[in-house]
Structure 1
Amino acid sequence: MYDVLCSITQTSLSSQSFTMLVLNNTNTQLLTFFLTGIPGLEAAQVWISIPLCLLYVIALSGNSMILFVVLREQSLHEPMYYFLSMLSATDLSLSLCTLSTTLGVFWFEAQEINLNACLAQMFFLHGFTFIESGVLLAMAFDRFVAICDPLRYTTILTNTRIAQIGVSMLVRNVAVMLPVVLFVRRLSFCSSMVLSHSYCYHVDLIQLSCTDNRINSILGLFALFSTAGFDCPCILLSYILIIRSVLSIASSEERHKVFNTCISHISAVAIFYIPLISLSLVHRYGHSAPPFVHTVMANVFLLVPPVLNPIIYSVKTKQIRKAIIKVLLRRSSKSNHQLSQSRHKAIYE
């Protein structure tokens, strides 16, 4: 009799454990977060979405144009422009991975997002951010070799080596971001589910956890310092060496010409790292700041680099500017030719 009661009790406990496991898995799968627009300006969000949408259009069209002209024009098939196309592809991907949720929140009040979708967006958002940091470092290395060791430029930056640099950035991104995502998956969320932004940001997400998130915070800091925290000092070091090399040039005109080739890259570095560092500091130490400050910084971090990079490189890089004008003139002449043909055909019909 005692054995029977024990077996019944064990069966009951095991079924309860199984039920709790199923419920926990179901709750994890059905866990829903709520994205936010601009706190305090909910009534004006439709109007705010108009310039926001315009910025997305500029970012998507500008980076697509850079990619198109680099791939199409044979004269741009050089290491500098290959790295520029990587930067444009990264900016394009960064804009696309937040476009749906941001415009969904501002236009349709579609604020709900489940945990799996949130984690996927977080992975790509931070991943493309870290890839952009790596691309900026690669571009700094390109400028360093071109200025400090121009005779070996073509032998150092071969197509194979450029491809290896691109693959290494992807591998680093996966190796850094995979543990971050897996450890967020292990957290429990039992109180507020309202995020501070219109997309899933790591620091914002782990702050909603009701369990100990110190490991997640450490992993996030490790991911940041092992990517942007490593790349930024290396970029600074490369420019210190570039400046030392340029100052040894006797002609002031030559010095100005060499410095001018670096202006676009220096601008791209500034508009990437300044918003990134500012957003990280605001999230970690600006708890007393008004909520709209976090939202504004988040949108600046997201949109300023993808919007400004194509403009800067189109204005400051003569070869890119000529290639874009050439493509636009070619399209204009082609459309005029098609229009004249259609008119000519209409007259004779």
Structure 2
Amino acid sequence: MNLREFSELLGLSPTTVSRALGGYPEVKEETRRKVAEAARTHGYRPNRRAASLATGRAMAIGHVIPTSLNHEMVNPVFADFLAGAGEIYSDANYDLILSVVNDGNEVRAYRQMARAGSVDGIIVHGPRDDDARVALLRETALPFVVHGRVPVAPTDYNFVDVDNRRAFQRATDLLLDLGHRRIALLNGHETMDFARRRRDGYLSAMVARGLPDCAELRFDGEMSEQNGYRTACGMLAQQDAPTAFLVSSMIMAIGVRRAIHDAGLVMGQDVSVVTHDDMLSYLGNGDDVPIFTATRSSVRAAGRRCAEILLDRISRPSQDPVQEVWESDLILGASTGPAPRSRT
């Protein structure tokens, strides 16, 4: 069944049907419900090209990834975000356009998308300290939502973020309450906003207990299993080795666990580990009892929420910005325990 046939069945114009399915605010709620119910009943899936012609929209959302973040393409965190966003796009009959560009070419990519009208909006990933994308997207007039926050002024833009500072302050406090004093932080690149906030949360908890900032106990870089393993091996070989690790990624925490095992130690007894982002579709954290103690926030849910906000802003561009900062749950698992009095 095509758009014309479906419209005739409902006694509505093709434009009204397309606008109802696309979430346009000018369509009455009664009409929107009628069209949605009929689409489900008759198994109608609109042709995106026809919808684009009827609505004047591209019916696509852009995601631009620079090559320096290519590892994100195979990162289950990024994949879960896209899966969540994709659920919302699919329901609204939108396509997802993923563009990988050379470093420094993001500006060109955004401008080309805006000029060509190939997308109706943009999701901004991996905000950085010196990020110029918010200012650029304001120039192009493309609606956008940032996953995270960009420390720039003015701050009147749409974003969904986790309270990274508070999450890592709470995690550090947990380890301190267990008696740990040599706590290592394995973080993402600290030019990234989320990593800087996590570092600040860790340091604020340590300073509040009168503990020094030990540079030899901090690492920032790509959050890979190999980096987790190699860094933890080096730190555990120190004369005054850490008794606990606070890790920014589940993937990196797996490397830390391997290093603890290779050192002949037991995670949760000799060395404690707290990680972030353990709520991943294809990388579980155990069943009844979590393997890792973790600060938990669903990145899939964040993808859905970013997509919902963006589609709403495409339909209603004059609305005030939506800015959400989510709390993380602190989940206790088998990877944490009291600080050991001595280590053989």
Q: TM-score range by the shorter chain?
A: under 0.3
Hey, which of these two has a bigger chunk of helix by percent?
1
Hey, which of these two has a bigger chunk of strand by percent?
2
TM-score (norm 1): 0.21
- Tell which structure's C-alpha radius of gyration is larger: 1
Which structure is higher in RCO with an 8 Å CA cutoff and minimum separation 6? 1
